[in-house]
Structure 1
Amino acid sequence: MVPVPFTEKTLTRSLLDVLIRAGLIAILVLFCFEIFQPFRDLMLWSLILAITLYPLQERLKGPLGQKEGRIATLIVLIAIVILMVPIYLLGTSIADSVEHAMSTVKAGGFHIPPPAESVASWPVVGKPLSDVWLQASTDLPDLTAKYIPQIKHASLGLLGKLAGVGMGFLTFIFALIIAGVFMAHGAAGSRSAVQIASRVSGPAKGPQLAELCTATIRAVALGVVGIAFIQMLLVGLGFVFKGVPGAGLLALAVLLLGIMQLPVTLITVPVIAYVIGTEGVSTTTIIFSIYVFIAGLVDNVLKPLLLGRGVDVPMPVVLIGALGGMVTSGIIGLFIGPVVLAVGYQLFWQWVQDQPEGAPPI
């Protein structure tokens, strides 16, 4: 066989072939991404839930048999039943709070106290703020009519946010159902994850990479998102049963603070002070205060049990992931953002620490 001479013409043709193939692959990837993009957040959240709940499915294999599909279906059904009750109570509380506020304003029972004299002496904003505050306390209808466009814009924005929260919870339910399908094929999915990781980083490091991603997802999902959700349910149910105004919105604020790794006492302590200030000291208010205060500190007990386990994710990474996810993808991004950013953080440092053989130690 006569070898083909290596000339500039053959080199140009080979380079052209490579560019054409790369262009066709890029076009195919772009089309696939556009088709998959509407389902991106839903599938990511489903995958996170499946990876997080799969150890529970493995533990139930013995008592409930060896059929993964049946166990996954049972877990999903129980989870939906458990979630629907508090979500319904919180949603009803939000609707009642909005309706009560609207009826109070229409009936004229809403009164704003006049500002203190010291407000006007505040630098820069003191005098304008004091004037607006004084007008609100003496002639609220005229002030409201003056700022109707701004109030309408803010109200529409608030309604949009509340609708986004409802859609987020609905997406969560669908994601939980899809996660059940993933868990029903858990063994095959685990093998596929190892194969993909091995194809990316090599057969020697592929299983370690897949294990690192799995451990990070479970640690952040349980130790950050899971604990924040538990806190929201515990504190929110206390607010609902006590009849605190705006209990649903306060519960959502508890969820946000929990995911951002900020103390929930920023909300529970003012609510306790409000309840005691309006209802006085009694057995009911004391029990409510103790319960809500302990529920706001439950993360200090659960974090050592659920967070970590060999995975160290700094708080700023979780905070940036929560805020960035909420900005880009709404309420569902609040859950997905910390998990995805934590996985990327762990993979980056794994790559940094993976020095090539023969390299001098740093």
Structure 2
Amino acid sequence: MWALVLAIALYPARVFLEAKLGWSATRIATLIAIIGVLLLGIPTAMVGNSFASKIFGAYESYEAGAMVVPPPSDSVKEWPLVGEKMHGAWREAAADLPRFIEKRQPQLKSLSSWFVERASGAAQSVFLMIGAIIIAGIMLAWAEPATRSMRRIFISFSNNELGPELHQLTTATLRQVAIGVIGIAFLTAMVFGATVALAGVPAAALFTLVALMFAIMQLPVTIVALIAVGLLWSSGETSPLHNTIFSILIIAASLVDNFLKPMILGRGLDVPMPVVLIGAVGGMMSGGILGMFIGAAFLSAGYQVFMKWVDSESDSAITDTKSNQRNSNESNS
């Protein structure tokens, strides 16, 4: 399913590159697949290698007794909800790290197990996406025959008139959701992350990742922005003017998707934008990110079929009314 979604979303790129480079469809599809694998695989390998090196380095430093935890600043106490507890635990770790680890060994063991499970799940997702990109490249190479086959399938489920319309609508919906949800979420996260980094907020990369997940899940990125603004003001390292300007910019950057989504999502479709958005949100709630595409496609196609039925019934009712009026007039005559 992921390969199908990727192939549909990337097909315009294949057509564009084919026209520009003059290569065959097979070569262009292979090039797109290689680029996709490299874009996903190289950063993942770099992050994994860096993470593993830091973990092993920290372990060796701890074994040698050279690991030192710096004491927390007083501003940690002002963190909402967890400030006091975080400051106390941090100060205890800074005073005697081995005793701190020994005292909280059960909690740290469960935390490490949870972290390992999440890391392995993330690695599996990356390998899944790499496999989906490779299969999508194969689908792109055979896009035209596959399109004709899919159109025949849609016709077999409906009729010669409605089948091609539903096929075109489903394809366009998947493509628009890829651009209107995933694309806009990525753009929003990049703008937000750049603004947070320029403002000097700590952990800008983490804020960017959280903003990306919020935008994909259709949650307000403004929540993340308010936390970033709170950290900016609590740092005490910048002037009030700097904080005011960047607070406005951070909140404005978190609203990028609110302005772009209505303009992009549903454009070029015979389906209202709220129908596509509701299908995407509902599908994501029931089936994750992949369900977002399936939900939007199914609800859009269902809306189209329903409205076709309504229009046919309305036309039939109007025809029957006119026929009855004609018969009544003839009998009166």
Given the alignment, which residue of 283, 287, 305 partners 1:321? 283
Residue in 2 that maps onto 1:260: 217
Deviations 1:96-121 (Å, cap 9, x if unpaired)? Answer: 997899989x63435496999xx9xx
Deviations 1:7-66 (Å, cap 9, x if unpaired)? Answer: xxxxxxxxxxxxxxxxxxxxxxxxxxxxxxxxxxxxx11110110111222233322226
Instruction: Say if 2:70 is the partner of 1:109.
Output: yes
Q: Within 2, Cα distance between the matches of 1:343 and 1:280? A: 48
- The 5 A counterparts of 1:306-345 are 306-309=264-267, 310=269, 311=271, 312=273, 313=275, 315-326=277-288, 334=289, 336-345=290-299
Deviations 1:296-315 (Å, cap 9, x if unpaired)? Answer: 44434543453211243354
Residue in 2 that maps onto 1:77: 34
Which amino acid counterpart does residue 179 of structure 2 have in structure 1? L
- Where 2:29 maps in the other structure, the secondary structure is helix
- The 5 A counterparts of 1:212-291 are 212-236=169-193, 246-275=203-232, 277=235, 279-281=237-239
Contact (CA 8 Å) 2:7, 2:139: kept in 1 or not? yes
Contact (CA 8 Å) 2:276, 2:299: kept in 1 or not? no
Contact (CA 8 Å) 2:192, 2:253: kept in 1 or not? yes
Q: How many residues in Structure 1 have an aligned counterpart in Structure 2?
A: 300
Displacement of 1:285 after TM fit? 8.7
- Where 1:263 maps in the other structure, the secondary structure is coil
Displacement of 1:266 after TM fit? 2.3
- Where 2:219 maps in the other structure, the secondary structure is coil
- Where 2:228 maps in the other structure, the secondary structure is helix
Q: Within 2, Cα distance between the matches of 1:171 and 1:233? A: 24
- Where 1:355 maps in the other structure, the secondary structure is helix
Q: Between the two proteins, what is the percent identity of the paired residues?
A: 33
Q: Within 2, Cα distance between the matches of 1:84 and 1:219? A: 26
Contact (CA 8 Å) 1:113, 1:137: kept in 2 or not? no
Displacement of 1:214 after TM fit? 0.6
Contact (CA 8 Å) 1:235, 1:295: kept in 2 or not? yes
Instruction: Say if 2:27 is the partner of 1:49.
Output: no
Residue in 1 that maps onto 2:149: 192
Q: Within 2, Cα distance between the matches of 1:163 and 1:178? A: 23
Deviations 1:118-161 (Å, cap 9, x if unpaired)? Answer: x9xxxxxx9xx999779747756788766643443233223322
Q: Within 2, Cα distance between the matches of 1:302 and 1:195? A: 35
Q: Within 2, Cα distance between the matches of 1:191 and 1:134? A: 64
Displacement of 1:67 after TM fit? 1.6
The answer for unaligned runs of 5 or more in structure 2 is 319-333
Q: Within 1, Cα distance between the matches of 2:205 and 2:51? A: 5
- Where 2:309 maps in the other structure, the secondary structure is coil
Displacement of 1:230 after TM fit? 3.3
Q: 1:292 to 1:217 in 2, by over 3 A?
A: same
Displacement of 1:180 after TM fit? 1.5
Q: Within 2, Cα distance between the matches of 1:295 and 1:114? A: 26
Using the TM superposition, name which of 196-205 and 269-278 deviates more. Answer: 269-278
Deviations 1:281-333 (Å, cap 9, x if unpaired)? Answer: 4999999878866654443454345321124335454333334334xxxxxxx
- Where 2:155 maps in the other structure, the secondary structure is helix
By relative contact order (CA 8 Å, sep 6+), the higher-ranking structure is 1
Q: Within 1, Cα distance between the matches of 2:285 and 2:132? A: 21
Q: 1:316 to 1:243 in 2, by over 3 A?
A: same
Residue in 2 that maps onto 1:165: 122
Q: 1:133 to 1:284 in 2, by over 3 A?
A: closer
Please report the TM-score for the alignment, with normalisation by the length of structure 1: 0.64
Q: 1:205 to 1:72 in 2, by over 3 A?
A: same
- The 5 A counterparts of 1:27-38 are none
Displacement of 1:84 after TM fit? 5.3
Contact (CA 8 Å) 2:173, 2:276: kept in 1 or not? no
Contact (CA 8 Å) 1:320, 1:338: kept in 2 or not? yes
Which amino acid counterpart does residue 213 of structure 1 have in structure 2? T
Contact (CA 8 Å) 2:278, 2:296: kept in 1 or not? no
Using the TM superposition, name which of 47-56 and 241-250 deviates more. Answer: 241-250
